[in-house]
Amino acid sequence: MLEITYLINGERHTIDFKSPADFVADEQLEVPSLQDHYRVVAVKVADQKDVNFKGTSIGDLYNYFLD
């Protein structure tokens, strides 16, 4: 499971995906669930709090999992 906590206009939101691959596939849709500029607060993969993600945005997270 992938859990992303992000900010929209200063408000904290959380979204879950089955896996990082599902997140990447969603970002490739014409209208993805998340905008690239949303600020990422936290990322957890399978209950691990540290996934070594150093970026700041959904776009950065997409690139992190794409590699």
Q: pTM to 2 decimals? A: 0.92
Q: How far apart are CA 16 and CA 55, in angstroms?
A: 19
The model's pLDDT over 29-54, given as tens digits with 9 standing for 90+, comes to: 999 999 999 999 999 998 777 688 99
Query: Whose CA is closest to 59, among 45, 31, 40, 43?
Result: 40
Predicted pLDDT of residue 10:
95
